Amino acid sequence: MKRGFALYLAFLVFLTCFLGWYLTRPKVLTVGMFAGSNWNVPEGEPYALMEAAIKRFEAEHPGVKVKYVSGIRKEDYSEWLAERLLNGDEPDVFVVPGTDFALYASMGALASLERSMNMDTDFDPSVFYPMALDYGRWQGDSYALPVGAVPTLMFVNKTLLAKEGIAIPRNDWSWQDFLRICKAVTRDTDGDGRLDQFGVYDYNWRKAALTNDVDLFSDDGKNANFTTQNMEEVMRFMAALHAVNQGQEVTAKDFDMGKVAFRPFTFAEYRTYKPYPWRIKKYSSFEWDCIKLPAGPSGHNSSIMQVMIMGISARTSEPRLSWELLKTICYDPAIQESLLTMTQGVPARRDVVESPRAQALFTAATPGSEEMNLQIVSQVMDDSITEPKFSRYQEAMNLADHKLQHMVQEGLSIGSALNQVQKEINSYLQQ
C-alpha cells in the first residue's frame, strides 16, 4: 500500500508539473505568406504590415509568439503551400491564393470561420466591402477573410488629351464616349503614313464584359454562357475599337512614350507610379491620372477587384488564437489603416477607407495624388466584381481569349462565332 501510494503521489506530482509546463509554455503560431506585393508592383518593405500586425497581436496576447517564413517568392508560394499541406505541417494562418481557394475549401484544408464570426461579439462582417468578404466564401460559408484589395481603373494621359483639346471624361462616361475619344486621337502625327498616336492599350473584351453586366459562367463553373445579347454588344464594341487602329498593334512602348490616351491600371499601379521615383522611371514625359472604366449600354462603370485573403488551417492546434491572429491582420482598424502607408493596396474595411484620416494618410503616402478622392475609390470598390474561383476558370478564359481575339481580327460573324466559343468551352468544362 505504501508503494502504491508513493507511485500515486509521484504521478500526481508529474501531472501537476506537466500541466504547469503545458499551461505556461510559450505558444507559437505560424503564418504563411510570400515576399513582395500581392498586386505585382514594387514594394519596399514586404513584411512591414505583417510585422506590425504580429507586434500588435503579441502585445495583446502575452506568452504567444508568432513566426513566419521569409523569402518565399509570390510565384513559388502556391507550390510551397501545397507541399506543406500535403506534409501536414502547414501554417496555422496563411495567405490563400485565389486560384487555390475553392480547392482548399472543398478538400477540408481550411477551417470554416462561421462559428468564430458568429460567436465573436467584437467582430462585425458588415464593415468589409461585400465583394471582398464574399471572395472568402465557398458554398455559403466563410473560409477566409480579406486583408486588402485593389480595383482596376482607367489611366488617362492628360497631356495627350489636352494637346488634342479633349476634356478628361467624367467618372460616369460610356463606351460611346470612349470610342469617340479613341477615334479623335488616333492618327499619324509625323506624316509617314503610319499611325503613331492611339486611343487605348491593353483594354480587352474581359474588361468590356464586366462593364456590360455579362455573366459568363454558372455558379458551379460547369456551364458557360457566351451567347447573350450583352456579350454580343461587347464583341461589337471590341470590333469597333479594333477598326480604329487600322490593323496596327499598340505596344507598351507606345504607351510609355506618351502616345496612347488610355490604359487600364490597377489602383496599386496608380499608387506605385504616381509618386517619385517610380514616376520618373516610368512616365515622366506626360501628366496622367485615373478614372473609372467606361460603362457599356447594359452595364455600369464597374471594375475587377483583386482581393488578398487569409484563412486558418483546419488542423491548427490553436483554433481560438488563430482566429484572434487572423482578426488582428484582417479586421483591426489600425492594421487596416496601415495598408494605406505600408502597401499599395486598399483596406478591405469600408469604414477605414472612407474616414477623413485615411484620405490624409493616402495623400501623404502617394504624392501627386491630391486629385484622387478615396470616396471615389470606395464607390469603385462597392461596384466591383471578383473573378470566379472554380478550378478551370483561368484555362476557360484563356481559351475564350484566343477564340474571341481571332473573331475580332478576322471580322467573323459575331453570333455564330460566340455560339462556337460557347460549345468549345462547355465541352472543356464538362470533361
Confidence of residue 10 (pLDDT cuts 50, 70, 90): low
Does position 431 have pLDDT exceeding 70, yes or no?
A: yes
Domain-wise residue ranges, the chain? 26-149+306-380
**Which 8-state DSSP code applies to residue 127?**
G
The residue with greater pLDDT, 79 or 26, is 79
Residues of the chain with pLDDT > 90, as a percent, come to 77
- Which has the closest alpha carbon to 248: 177, 193, 179? 193
Its pTM stands at 0.88
Does position 233 have pLDDT exceeding 80, yes or no?
A: yes
Q: Hey, what amino acid is at 422?
A: Q
Contacts of 389 (CB under 8 A, 6+ apart): 98, 99, 101, 102, 135, 138
Does position 370 have pLDDT exceeding 50, yes or no?
A: yes
- Architecture of the 26-149+306-380 domain: 3-Layer(aba) Sandwich (3.40)
Q: How far apart are CA 260 and CA 182, in angstroms?
A: 9
pLDDT of residue 11: 55
SS3 at position 141: strand
Q: Exposed e or buried b for every residue in 246-284, given b needs 16+ CB within 10 A? A: eeeebeeebbeebbbbbbbbbbbbbbbbbeeeeeeeebe
Could you report the per-residue pLDDT of 324-362, keeping only the tens digit for each? 999 999 999 999 999 999 999 999 999 999 998 999 999
Q: Using CA of residue 7, residue 13, residue 17, residue 18, what is the dihedral sign?
A: positive
Question: Strand pairing of 145-157 and 346-347?
Answer: antiparallel
